[in-house]
Amino acid sequence: MNVYNYNFAALDGGPMPLERFRNQPILFVNTASECGFTPHYAKLQQIYQDYHQSGLVVIGMPCNDFGQQEPGSEEEIAEFLQNEYRITFPMTAKYSCIGIEAHTMFKELAQEYGGDVLPRWNFHKYLFNRKGGLIEHWPAQTPPDDPAVIHQITRHLQSWSL
């Protein structure tokens, strides 16, 4: 599976083919606005600001799969993200990441890497390299600025230069 092969709709309604980020590493996160981990948005925004110039793209995907903690419309989600966290990184429309309604990317991740790769809660993080391959993934309990996450990002920055 290659992350650049997947298409999403953007939170604002336009298309968001991941192909447009080809040759850039991606930190992809399923998100929710009413979760105990919602403050991770601030840390994701900081990572985006710190590493975007080196090529890293952070992408958030609102998801209502866990505890119905993303019940709002896409317009409400966008307003929340702007008002509460000033998010500037790309956000997809709302999708599922588990079950029959799961986005194809998650189905294919599970098919290739096994079910343990799937999120068990909001704010599961996936790091893909500039060739579109999965490097690592971390559960919700691992904050985006955890040393293990930052280590993997910085470890690969040299190979990610544009």
User: Looking at this protein, which amino acid is placed at residue 94?
Assistant: K
Take residue 69 and report the two structure tokens written for it: 């903690």
Q: Determine the Cα–Cα distance for residues 82 and 96; give it in Å rounded to an integer.
A: 22
Any idea what the Cα angle at residue 29 is, between residues 145 and 153, rounded to 5°?
45
130 C-beta neighbours (distance < 10 Å), count? 19
pLDDT value at position 7? 98
- Give the residue among 4, 18, 29 at the shortest CA–CA distance from 133: 4
27, 35, 93, 140: the catalytic one is: 35
Residue with tokens 């600025």: 145
User: Is 35 a catalytic site residue?
Assistant: yes
CA atoms within 13 A on the CB side of 56: 24
The fraction of the chain above a pLDDT of 70, given in percent, is 96
Read off the pLDDT of residues 102-143 as tens digits, 9 standing for 90 and up: 999 999 999 999 999 999 999 999 999 989 999 999 999 999
What is the pTM (predicted TM-score) of this model? 0.95
Q: What confidence tens digit (pLDDT) does each residue in 39-64 have?
A: 999 999 999 999 999 889 999 999 99
Calpha distance 128→146 (Å, rounded): 17
Which CATH number is correct for 3-160, 3.50.50.60, 3.30.590.20, 3.40.30.10, 3.30.420.10?
3.40.30.10
Label residue 3 by pLDDT band (50, 70, 90): very high
Name the token pair of 106: 């998650």
